Structure 1
């Protein structure tokens, strides 16, 4: 089962691609430009060049499921948030459905269901995630939505939690733990129409994402 990774060159995407390669999971990394290829080629990871703001329908050919972990990034404005985090995700859902893919794995955000509660500068991002998640749920595609808390660069522990109650209110999760959780979801092909909050914690990933 080949997984298309949209957003493969991001901080989480790269970690996930490396973990998948080590685990022998077939993946195809969607990247925006040839200059990004060497990192993936050195690790034996298949790449395909496409841009979420352009035509990317061809990248789905031969794939069985898709993982969307793309993001406009913290240094762009609301315009890119709309084009990447919202419209890019919606277009990816449409193309995945047209290609008959078996699942769509979406990386969203904790509390995306209440954008107004987010800090002001994060509200456009949260609103985009809210709308993209709703579109995916209504699409008819089998899906899994992962909702990480505030991301950090702490080392991966592979120990996580599913709620603030478990963590005593701490709302952070390392990008490494998100990557390990995504690998688990990629491999768990029978897991569909589920949503999970992900935080750093004390339980094994397989237990939290059961």
Structure 2
């Protein structure tokens, strides 16, 4: 499969690209900075320079031509403004969904956050705005009946070595290595499992392949 990954220079995205390439797939890393091209090529992906905050769905759809699936792994990052939490984490995910539909792509995996729906709508705290952005993006994708979507909500992300084992559920607490999140998404894409499912995931005792098959 040819799989476009928004936020292709991120840590999870690059690990995902490597796993997909090793599995015989063709990852395409959507990046907004051409200086990042060498990094994503080294991870096994083909770079596509496009800025989700400064393009429309038609332009993005053109870039997605020939892809079989899309992954939203983009984020505004630490220290970003409240405005960018909404323009990247929410609007970028919705833009990718709209562009995927235009390009005739049904499979969409959205990387969200544990506890996204618990945000305080009256708060101006940056983390609450981040959760709101994720929650609203998730809701928009869930409501798109032209997509075969899966929404992955990991717990606190770490740089620990991946264990290959996870725990999933509607609500779970804990942390998870970025490498295990990448492996989980790769398994979802390779197997086609998890369509129409939204779940939280943290480190656990179940092998990723079994956890994905049980969704």
Fold match, TM over 0.5?
yes
CA distance in 1, matches of 2:132, 2:194: 26
Partner of 2:196: 193
Aligned mates of 2:81, 2:38 — CA distance in 1: 29
1:160 corresponding residue in structure 2: 166
Distance, in Å, in 1 between the alignment partners of 2:19 and 2:86 is 30
**Shift of residue 44, structure 1, vs aligned partner:** 4.3
User: Counterpart in 1 of 2:187?
Assistant: 184
Structure 2 counterpart of 1:17:
17
The DSSP-based 3-state class of the residue aligned with 2:13 is helix
Q: Is the 8 A contact 1:5 1:67 kept in 2?
A: yes
Moved over 3 A (4+): 117-121
- Give the structure 2 partner of residue 175 of structure 1: 178
**Match of residue 139, structure 1, among 139, 144, 148:** 144
Cα distance 1:68–1:164, how it changes in 2: closer, same or farther (>3 A)?
closer
Deviation of 1:102 after TM superposition, in Å, equals: 2.2
After superposition, what is the alpha-carbon deviation per residue over 1:19-46, rounded to whole angstroms, capped at 9, x for unaligned? Answer: 1112212211111122111123335421
Q: Look up the match of 1:87.
A: 91
Structure 2 unaligned spans of 5+: none
CA distance in 2 between counterparts of 1:132 and 1:164 reads: 17
State the shift of 1:67 in Å.
0.4
Q: 1:190: Cα distance to partner? A: 4.8
Q: State the number of aligned residues.
A: 207
Whole-Å separation in 1 of the counterparts to 2:20 and 2:99: 23
RMSD, aligned CA: 2.1
Distance in 2 between residues matched to 1:44 and 1:139, nearest whole Å: 31
TM-score, normalization: structure 1?
0.91
Matched, 1:71 2:75: yes
Aligned-pair CA distance for 1:17: 0.7
Q: Which runs of 5+ in 1 are unaligned?
A: none
Q: Distance in 2 between matches of 1:25 and 1:49?
A: 20
Equivalent residues in 2 for 1:24-43 (5 A)?
24-43=24-43
Q: 1:74 to 1:43 in 2, by over 3 A?
A: closer
- The SS at the match of 1:209 is helix
1:44 to 1:90, Cα distance in 2 relative to 1, 3 A: closer
